[in-house]
Amino acid sequence: MRIPRILTRPLTLTLALLAGLASGCVNKQRMTQPAQSVGEQLLLSTAIDRTLSELDMEAIGRLKGFKVYLSTTYLKALDQEYLIGSLRDLLFSSGVLVVDDPEQAQMIVEVRSGANSLDSATVTAGIAEDQALPNPVTGAPVALPELALFKKENNVSVTTVALVAYHADTRVHVFSSGTLLGGAYDRHYQILGLFRLRFTDVPELRAIKRLKRRYR
């Protein structure tokens, strides 16, 4: 809906005043920011852990005592190093002799991942981020502060992993895991810009929340 020109100026001045008040009440401390936040990293690693927990340990037990090479040729994933490290840990813990040279291996285990990523969605009732109104004098856009009566942020991580094992010399099939699925969520609610709630099934994020409360 187009705002009448007669209302634009007082509305812009009012919002500019609100922006000034909001900016005067915010204390920001900026540190070096990595490509992924702590929340994103923990969501991904938790999804990987839960996916690997779905592995049939009876099938893994068929590799016990054999020299096994873990092939990652067909693995492309966001948190690839963590996935590989966790899988190596699982194999070692199950009595599998993981080797780094395929020439020494008696069996090969190929790992692949169909998904290892995050989905994020935000719903805002009020003035969302990146909104602007034209300056009545210059016509230049004036950025508006976020004024959310209600805001919900939903972050979900999903990982799928599949394994296939076979003899290194004969290529005879040993087992296939099928597609394994795991995930995690982290939800944020904000009411009137004052009340904040967080619901997550990631234990480390709950621990961080308690830690932040302790050191406020």
pLDDT tens sequence across 180-204: 999 999 998 888 877 888 899 999 8
Q: Is residue 89 part of a domain?
A: yes
Diameter of the chain measured on Cα atoms: 83
Provide the number of structural domains found in the chain: 1
Reduce the DSSP state of residue 58 to 3 states and report it. helix
CATH at 80: 3.40.50
Cβ neighbors of 19 (< 8 A, separation 6 or more) are 142, 143, 144, 145
118: exposed, middle or buried (Cβ count in 10 Å: 0-12, 13-18, 19+): middle
pTM of the model: 0.74
Whole-number Å distance between alpha carbons of 9 and 78: 48
CB 96 within 8 A of CB 63: yes
Tell me if 120 is assigned to some domain: yes
Residue 14 lies in a domain: no
Give a yes or no: residue 2 inside a domain: no
The answer to whether position 7 is within a domain reads: no
Q: What residues does 206 pair with on adjacent strands? A: none
What SS3 class is residue 212?
Answer: helix
Contacts of 85 (CB under 8 A, 6+ apart): none
Q: Please report whether residue 24 resides in a domain.
A: no
- pLDDT tens-digit map of 115-150: 999 998 888 777 666 666 677 777 677 776 667 778
- Is residue 116 situated within a structural domain? yes
Q: Under DSSP, is residue 49 helix (H, G, I), strand (E, B) or coil?
A: helix
Distance separating alpha carbons of residues 182 and 34, to the nearest angstrom: 25
Per the domain annotation, does 26 fall within a domain?
no
- Does the pLDDT at position 21 exceed 80? no
Q: What is the pLDDT of residue 118?
A: 92
Domain that holds residue 78: 36-214
